[in-house]
Amino acid sequence: MTQIRSAVAEQAKALLLPKLHPVIDTRTSGGVKKYGQTLDQNIKPQRAKVVHLLQELLDALQYVLWGAVDDEQSDVMASRLAGMANDLIRQYPDLTLNEMLFKEGYTPQFLELGNAHAFDDGGPA
């Protein structure tokens, strides 16, 4: 199998234990197969990236609370994940509920550059 080169994947591997490097490589290859590009090549607007990260953090938080880790570690991990999600909301307080609920592939107008509020829910600014 040809290894796909990705600067993002290499940065991630530099932060991870070597045992996890093949997982990053496999997920990168799977992403190319599914989406036709690496994260490096994805030119989504910043808000779309933030929404994706937020959704992944919230999923990870629920996995931790579900019992995916030992009870000893779950409180610490859950607090870290919740803190990161809360930090994103503090950085982007104008994210709308519609933006945060965005599901990839269902609303292409969200991905248009410069259309940061495509899902504005009409609430107070």
Indicate whether 34 and 55 sit together in one domain: no
Task: Give per-residue pLDDT as tens, 55-83.
Answer: 999 999 999 999 988 888 899 999 999 99
Residue 17: inside a domain, yes or no?
yes
Give the separation between CA 64 and CA 90, rounded to whole angstroms.
23
Structure tokens at 39: 């994260």
Indicate whether 53 and 74 sit together in one domain: yes
Residue 90: inside a domain, yes or no?
yes
pLDDT for position 1:
53
Domain containing 33 equals: 7-41
- Residues whose CB falls within 8 Å of the CB of residue 125, separated by 6 or more in sequence, listed in order: 94
Give the separation between CA 4 and CA 1, rounded to whole angstroms.
9
Residue 122: inside a domain, yes or no?
no
Indicate whether 52 and 95 sit together in one domain: yes
- Here the contacts of 12-17 (C-beta below 8 Å, separation 24 or greater) are none
Indicate whether 53 and 31 sit together in one domain: no
Give the separation between CA 125 and CA 118, rounded to whole angstroms.
14
pTM: 0.77
Residue 125: inside a domain, yes or no?
no
Residue 105: inside a domain, yes or no?
yes
Structure tokens at 74: 């779950």
Indicate whether 14 and 28 sit together in one domain: yes
Domain count, the chain: 2
Indicate whether 30 and 64 sit together in one domain: no
Indicate whether 34 and 64 sit together in one domain: no
DSSP states of 78-96:
HHHHHHHHHHHHHH-TT--
Indicate if the pLDDT at residue 125 is higher than 80: no
Q: What is the mean pLDDT of residues 45-53?
A: 95
pLDDT for position 68:
85
